[in-house]
């Protein structure tokens, strides 16, 4: 067995009602919080009220920043950080999908070093004020990862901030997903699935991360009929949230791999939801491994698929991918992706530009 490190320091509370039950976990984080969220969903699903009720009960003052859209950019983070600094905010609570949770990490980094401005985001040694994460989708795993992905308009793509920032406390309450639309449920579930798959197949995987993934994949398998039917009883919501956190716990050790790096361009250029962008590339990615690869065989077995074609058919079934691509698009994405040696290095076999181009082609020109 190879030597490895396992590090995932977020204090996680799982279960329906966990915010109010374990609100005291926030008491030590400061006397003033910024609640970071999107415009509507955290209000609709009750998460925002649960958090602000808990803060009120703990006598912690709070301000609301509810302007985080999908794929938040540096400009939005900068605006929120300015308010946080002016208000003397001591910790941050990100409620929502990956976007508000990631944004809250970035804001917390900027607020910890007001003199550095946005430079703090690209400083690998930057520190952050404490963060609480409350996921309301089951996909990103940001509540247990050190990543905070922002949109960079100047580079026409997305990138993680440089520092590794874990949440101090995470509340995983599946009830916030009870009202989540089918489209978002499926796209985010596929995001989590791709975390599990990419982590499992990465050269960075270790014994513990693979065991975590195997557990996540077998929970995902239980959810497959519901994802296909687009009907999600409470026990399926519970399983999706747990599976997503396990995916996060795995990529926190291994980072993601090719579909994530390749998919960012589909999100930026074609507006594909993040999970869909990864999902449409996944069959071709798995097929890039040589026939007989034991890890590919294991993951298909955990998911209950006979082969990669069944995995691809499932992804086609649960994603509604309709974007249209040209040869020029494929060449542009390929060239841009080849600029990311970090993602390419996670793949256990040699990879050429041609391989990447063919993966895009097989996935997008069906
Ligand atoms: Fe992801």
Report how far ligand 1's centroid is from the alpha carbon of 296 (Å): 20
CA 273 to chain centre: 12
- Residues in Cβ contact with 322 at an 8 Å cutoff, skipping those fewer than 6 apart: none
Question: C-alpha angle 209/211/214, rounded to 5°?
Answer: 110
CA torsion angle 142 145 147 148 (round to 10): 30
Ligand 1 (ion): residues with CB under 5 Å are 191
Helix axes 353-364, 258-270, angle to 10 degrees: 60
What are the residue ranges spanned by the domains of the chain? 11-176, 181-364
Query: How high is the pLDDT of residue 343?
Result: 94
- Mean pLDDT value across the chain: 96
Q: Using alpha carbons only, how large is the chain's radius of gyration in Å?
A: 20
| Strands 32-36 and 61-65, bridge-based pairing | parallel
In b/e form, how buried is each residue of 112-129, taking b as 16+ CB within 10 angstroms?
A: bbeeeebebbeeeebebb
Report how far ligand 1's centroid is from the alpha carbon of 310 (Å): 22
Which two tokens mark 243? 């599976």
Query: How high is the pLDDT of residue 60?
Result: 98
CA distances from 225 to 181, 233, 300, 334 (A): 17, 11, 16, 34
Query: How high is the pLDDT of residue 8?
Result: 87
Spell out where 111-172 has E strands. 131-135, 149-152, 157-160, 169-172
Report how far ligand 1's centroid is from the alpha carbon of 192 (Å): 7
Report how far ligand 1's centroid is from the alpha carbon of 101 (Å): 13
CATH class of domain segment(s) 11-176: alpha beta
Is 172:136 a contact under the CB 8 Å cutoff? no
Burial of 63 (0-12, 13-18, 19+ CB in 10 A): middle
Report how far ligand 1's centroid is from the alpha carbon of 257 (Å): 10
- Residues in Cβ contact with 36 at an 8 Å cutoff, skipping those fewer than 6 apart: 65, 66, 68, 80, 92, 93, 94, 95, 100, 103, 104, 107
Report how far ligand 1's centroid is from the alpha carbon of 330 (Å): 21
Query: How high is the pLDDT of residue 153?
Result: 86
Report how far ligand 1's centroid is from the alpha carbon of 273 (Å): 10
Report how far ligand 1's centroid is from the alpha carbon of 195 (Å): 6
Per DSSP, the three-state class of 92 is strand
Report how far ligand 1's centroid is from the alpha carbon of 115 (Å): 31
Per DSSP, the three-state class of 241 is helix
- pLDDT one-digit tens code per residue, 98-114: 999 999 999 999 999 99
Task: Give the count of beta carbons closer than 10 Å to the beta carbon of residue 111.
Answer: 24
CA distance 37 to 64: 8
The 3-class secondary structure across 297-323, one letter per residue, is HHHHHHHCCCCHHHHHHHHHHHCCCCC
Which one, of 176, 147, 177, lies nearest residue 162 by Cα?
A: 147
Report how far ligand 1's centroid is from the alpha carbon of 31 (Å): 33
Report how far ligand 1's centroid is from the alpha carbon of 180 (Å): 18
Show the low-confidence residues of the chain (pLDDT under 70): none
**How many CA atoms lie less than 13 Å away from 292 in the CB half-sphere?**
0
Report how far ligand 1's centroid is from the alpha carbon of 209 (Å): 16
Query: How high is the pLDDT of residue 5?
Result: 85
Query: How high is the pLDDT of residue 188?
Result: 98
Is 133:143 a contact under the CB 8 Å cutoff? yes
Query: How high is the pLDDT of residue 45?
Result: 96
Polymer length in residues for the chain: 366
- What's the topology of domain 181-364? Dehydroquinate synthase-like, alpha domain (1.20.1090)
- pLDDT one-digit tens code per residue, 221-247: 999 999 999 999 999 999 999 999 999
CA distance 340 to 25: 39
Report how far ligand 1's centroid is from the alpha carbon of 191 (Å): 5
């Amino acid at each position: 067995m190879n030597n490895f490190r396992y590090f995932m320091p977020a204090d996680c509370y799982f279960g329906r009602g966990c915010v109010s039950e374990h609100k005291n976990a926030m008491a030590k984080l400061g006397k003033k919080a910024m609640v970071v969220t999107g415009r509507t969903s955290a209000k609709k699903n009750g998460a925002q009220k649960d958090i602000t009720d808990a803060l009120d009960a703990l006598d912690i003052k709070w301000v609301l920043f509810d302007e985080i859209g999908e794929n938040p950019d540096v400009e939005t983070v900068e605006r929120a950080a300015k308010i946080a600094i002016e208000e003397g905010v001591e910790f941050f609570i990100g409620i929502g999908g990956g976007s508000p949770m990631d944004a809250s990490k970035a804001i917390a980094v900027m607020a910890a070093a007001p003199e550095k401005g946005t430079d703090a985001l690209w400083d690998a040694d930057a520190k952050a004020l404490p963060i609480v994460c409350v996921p309301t989708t089951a996909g990103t795993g940001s509540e247990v990862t050190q990543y905070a992905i922002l949109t960079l308009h100047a580079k026409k793509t997305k990138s993680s901030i440089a520092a590794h920032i874990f949440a101090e406390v995470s509340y995983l309450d599946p009830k916030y997903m009870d009202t989540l639309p089918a489209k978002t449920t499926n796209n985010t579930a596929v995001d989590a699935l791709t975390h599990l798959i990419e982590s499992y197949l990465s050269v960075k995987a270790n014994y513990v991360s693979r065991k975590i993934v195997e557990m996540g994949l077998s929970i995902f398998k239980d959810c497959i009929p519901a994802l296909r039917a687009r009907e999600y009883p409470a026990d399926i919501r519970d399983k999706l949230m747990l599976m997503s956190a396990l995916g996060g716990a795995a990529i926190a050790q291994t980072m993601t791999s090719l579909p994530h790096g390749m998919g960012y361009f589909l999100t930026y250029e074609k507006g594909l939801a993040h999970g869909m962008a990864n999902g449409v590339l996944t069959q071709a990615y798995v097929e890039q491994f040589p026939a007989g690869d034991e890890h590919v065989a294991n993951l298909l077995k955990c998911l209950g698929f006979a082969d990669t074609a069944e995995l691809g058919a499932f992804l086609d079934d649960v994603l509604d991918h309709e974007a249209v691509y040209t040869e020029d698009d494929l060449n542009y994405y390929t060239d841009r992706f080849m600029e990311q040696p970090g993602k390419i290095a996670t793949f256990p076999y040699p990879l050429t530009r041609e391989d990447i181009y063919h993966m895009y082609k097989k996935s997008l020109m069906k």
